[in-house]
Amino acid sequence: MLKQSSAESVAEGYLELLVSRGVEYFFGNAGTDFAPIVEALAKRHTLGQPIPRPITVPHEIPAVAMAHGYAMVTGRPQVVMVHVTVGTAHGLAGIMNAARSQVPMLFTAGRTPLTEGRLIGARDLHIHWAQEAFDQAAIAREFVKWDYELRMAEQLEVVVDRALAITQSAPAGPVYLTLPREVLAGRLEHFEYSHHPRQGAARLGAAPASLVDEAARALASARHPLFIVKAAGRDPGAVAALVSLAERLAVPVVEHFPTYLNFPHDHALHAGYDPHPYLDEADVVVVIESDVPWIPRRKNPRPEASVIQIGQDPLFARYPIRGFPSDLTLVGSPRLTLDALRSAVGAIAVDGTAVESRRARWTQEHQRLRAGWAAQASGAQNDSPIDMAWVSRCVGALVDEGTVVVNEYDLQLAQTCFRTPGTFFGSPSASGLGWGLGAALGAKLASPDKTVVCCVGDGAYMFGCPTAAHFVGRAYDLPVLFVVFNNRAWNAVSGSVKSFAPEGWAVKSGTMPLAALDPSPDYELVCQSSGGYGERVEDPRELPAAFRRALRAVREERRQALLNVICRKP
């Protein structure tokens, strides 16, 4: 069935189509190319016609991260629009994050006007010559699933529906659409479109039954199976499926560099965050949605061990090189594949005594790990400068089903205890810095009734364009608690140097060029400048009370808050 539209311009029709396709928000960092969009938004808002809610974000880094955070929580792609070539360049790190995280997003940019004459929307500013590129989409093409330039009004429905179908097709990822100003300004006559999109996203089922049966037989006969998982929790339903399979065979689960909650942290089969101590004895290793299941330079499974990889794209085809073995590759929905594995294992006779012995062993190991982590935090709780383990323990004390934590690097998961899918989100694999602030704001937009806590290092905080991010938090009533783990240094840089040259000049001399962030800005004042609550914390004994004060500001006063926690230098 076709729907008649009252839209009079392509820009109006574009906005109407976005709403009809379920897009709720339009994250914008505007430039001169936005004129037709701004006019269409103003007109439709004034006339009470539907539009995606415009969110003004004064920098592309938090704009893209907000769309990432919203889709990460809801699974629904949103629109980001940036200014021509220069805005695309600013937002590209966020696109890399979304691509490697398999997050759907309609990333759009205006196009420098094509013409120099009298067409509506033609060039009328000096920048319209210098900002043009021979191939604007080439800037982003490496990290998007699809790119196109809208060329005429007649394409509008097909282009929008195709973009949204491709971005949501498994594995999901960003797409890039450029919108020339003359095209957006063009007139629409008798515009009509389908009530529902005629292009649907491609979904995956379970992996082929023959491969699932082969994997089930390998698991059922294994003496020392091991699960390594990173992002299965992207689909919250996959968590229960993984728990059920692990419990059936008493298989330990390691979350290595997790970007989601994949397995309840208090479960007896949760074996922590480092698989390397367990690789020597593992005879079957199942890798689930993990691009880097172990670090080969540090440790590899035994040559005779079988490796099974499960995921939407378990070989990570868009990574130029990745040499992890995959003796059996199960392509499909992780949730459905894990469910199918559980059913297949249930039809096979297994050694019950071996299973129960394994369960007892890993329960004991789980208890040993958690006791050790607790002792580490307890031993550090009075250290000054403050130890990051103690900060992480204090964050962990806040966690419940009503809390969402977004972590860009410094939160130590071992000091927390997440149990519920959708309560933890970690740094994207691409590690384009500056993700955390915007992602937390997007998560809050998607979960207004939840308490959102954003943990960032001081370097990541600066990368996140904090003035812009705090502006958004105030302007759109998004009270987030930001926790800055401030060690006045690039921890990742110094750690990398120590790993590269443990006996080298930097270590011996105690000099780490290009890694220091001292003297440190007063980050709490940046939050205060946008009406938020800010506090500098140097005394470890004051930290729990500081968290209570900050949470009161967020929950009761509905103000954003920031704790600038002065931590030990690396």
Residues 114 and 236 in one domain: no
- Average pLDDT of every residue of the chain: 96
Closest CA to 286 of 328, 234, 347: 328
Helix, strand, coil percentages for the chain (3-state, nearest 5) = 40, 15, 40
Residue 495, pLDDT > 90, answer: no
Q: What is the pLDDT of residues 120-154, one digit of tens each?
A: 888 999 999 999 999 999 999 999 999 999 999 99
294 CB-near residues (< 8 Å, 6+ apart): 228, 256, 275, 276, 279, 300, 301, 324
Q: What is the pLDDT of residues 24-79, one digit of tens each?
A: 999 999 999 999 999 999 999 999 999 999 999 999 999 999 999 999 999 999 99
Q: What is the number of domains present in the chain? A: 3
Find the mean pLDDT for residues 310-337. Answer: 98
Residues 419 and 344 in one domain: no
415 CB-near residues (< 8 Å, 6+ apart): 373, 376, 377, 389, 392, 393, 395, 396
| 78-87, 454-463, 509-518: the lowest-pLDDT one | 509-518
Residues 431 and 482 in one domain: yes
Find the mean pLDDT for residues 561-569. Answer: 97
Tokens (6 digits) for 356: 């129960």
Residues 312 and 429 in one domain: no
**Where do we find the tokens 């031993």?**
379
Q: How far is CA 98 from CA 80, 105, 292, 366, 532, in A?
A: 12, 8, 17, 33, 29
Find the mean pLDDT for residues 382-401. Answer: 96
Residue 510, pLDDT > 90, answer: no
Q: Rg (Cα) of the chain, in Å, rounded?
A: 25
Interatomic CA distance for residues 454 and 60, integer angstroms: 19
Residues 130 and 52 in one domain: yes
Residues 316 and 457 in one domain: no
- Give the whole-number percent of the chain exceeding pLDDT 90: 93
Q: What is the pLDDT of residues 206-242, one digit of tens each?
A: 999 999 999 999 999 999 999 999 999 999 999 999 9
Asked, for residue 524, whether it belongs to a domain, the answer is yes
Q: Is the pLDDT higher at 511 or at 70?
A: 70
Torsion angle in degrees (nearest 10) through CA of 436, 488, 295, 145: 30
The one-letter amino acid code at 292 reads V
Domain boundary among 318, 346, 368: 368
Q: Helix, strand, or coil here: 453?
A: strand
Residue 190, pLDDT > 90, answer: no
Residue 114, pLDDT > 90, answer: no
Contact 93, 432 (CB under 8 A): yes
145 CB-near residues (< 8 Å, 6+ apart): 99, 166, 167, 169, 173, 174, 175
Cβ atoms within 10 Å, residue 499: 10
Please state the pTM of the whole predicted model.
Answer: 0.97
Contact 518, 458 (CB under 8 A): no
Asked, for residue 518, whether it belongs to a domain, the answer is yes
Residues 417 and 560 in one domain: yes
Exposed, middle or buried: residue 299 (CB in 10 Å: 0-12, 13-18, 19+)? middle
Residues 53 and 186 in one domain: yes
Closest CA to 59 of 475, 433, 428, 471: 471
254 CB-near residues (< 8 Å, 6+ apart): 226, 227, 228, 229, 271, 272, 273, 274, 275, 278
CATH of the domain at 189: 3.40.50.970
Asked, for residue 200, whether it belongs to a domain, the answer is no
Residue 511, pLDDT > 90, answer: no
Domain boundary among 368, 397, 418: 368
Q: How far is CA 544 from CA 140, 187, 235, 401, 537, in A?
A: 44, 60, 33, 20, 10
Angle, vertex CA 213, rays to CA 212 and CA 214, nearest 5? 90
Domain that holds residue 47: 2-194
Interatomic CA distance for residues 426 and 399, integer angstroms: 15
Partners of 136 in beta bridges: none
Residues 355 and 319 in one domain: yes
Closest CA to 255 of 244, 277, 270, 242: 270
Asked, for residue 59, whether it belongs to a domain, the answer is yes
CA atoms within 13 A on the CB side of 150: 33
Give the pLDDT band of residue 295 (cuts 50, 70, 90).
very high
Cβ atoms within 10 Å, residue 30: 18
Partners of 108 in beta bridges: 81, 177
